[in-house]
Amino acid sequence: SQQGEEDPQALSIQEGENATMNCSYKTSINNLQWYRQNSGRGLVHLILIRSNEREKHSGRLRVTLDTSKKSSSLLITASRAADTASYFCATASSGGSYIPTFGRGTSLIVHP
Amino acid sequence: ETGVTQSPTHLIKTRGQQVTLRCSSQSGHNTVSWYQQALGQGPQFIFQYYREEENGRGNFPPRFSGLQFPNYSSELNVNALELDDSALYLCASSHGLAGDVGELFFGEGSRLTVL
């Protein structure tokens, strides 16, 4: 079973536009992480936000966390064709073995 | 480059056979996690090893087994292969328990096809 679920499943935008992906989860978490995966490759860590944080930035990435709604969003600003990839959120439940559990991902296509 | 290497990169097996996949952790990492990713799906947690001991297991049958060695490299073994075992198998290393201390460093995966 998957703890986090990303929305939308697929997103198609033009270069220069912003891309927003959302993640909802079910149980209390210790932290939430976002990863990127180019087709058929390994996952690359993008950003981690802890349960006591509300927002984090890294370059063109902005992540928010709302623990009351059990949701997170990933915003990529000024998107580039090279941002085309699948994006996954991973949650580590609090009070457990802290094992990151992944959602099904959002497939992002950025058209040049 | 994460420093995590997996082998083999691709392999084809037939139903009923056995397979061993290998993973070398990033230097300094003592935790290895294995995930199965079917086409179009997210990675599914198989199990995690911390300092050579299994530390958590996902919803996978006992024919999925693993080992972690003193140098923290790891193996994933799958017996009695089934068609549904066809997937990308991902190994990830971390220092300490990943969900507690932070990010996972993934290898490029082993693509298994079962015919």
pLDDT digits 0-9 by tens, B42-87 = 999 999 998 889 888 999 999 999 999 998 899 999 999 999 999 9
Contacts of A25 in chain B (CB under 8 A): none
Average pLDDT over every residue of B5-22: 98
Residue B14: count other Cβ atoms within 10 Å of its Cβ: 10
Residue B91's pLDDT band, with cuts at 50, 70 and 90, is very high
Chain A touched by B23 (CB under 8 Å): no
Backbone angles phi, psi at B99, to 5 degrees: -70, -20
Give percent of chain B above pLDDT 90: 71
Q: What is the pLDDT of residue B27?
A: 84
The beta-carbon neighbor of B56 closest among A41, A43, A99 is A99
Determine the distance in angstroms separating the CA of A15 from the nearest CA of chain B, rounded to an integer. 24
Tokens of B22: 């290998």
Q: What is the pLDDT of residue B103?
A: 83
**For chain A, which ranges sit under pLDDT 50?**
1
Contacts of A104 in chain B (CB under 8 A): 41-42
Chain A touched by B4 (CB under 8 Å): yes
Q: What is the pLDDT of residue B30?
A: 87
Contacts of A99 in chain B (CB under 8 A): 33, 45, 48, 56, 97-99
User: Quick check: B103 and A31 CB within 8 A?
Assistant: no
Contacts of B113 in chain A (CB under 8 A): none
Tell me how many helices (H) and strands (E) chain B has. 1, 11
Cα–Cα distance for residue pair B93/B9, rounded to 1 Å: 17
User: Quick check: A43 and B88 CB within 8 A?
Assistant: no
Q: What is the pLDDT of residue A100?
A: 84
Helix or strand or coil: residue A44? Answer: strand
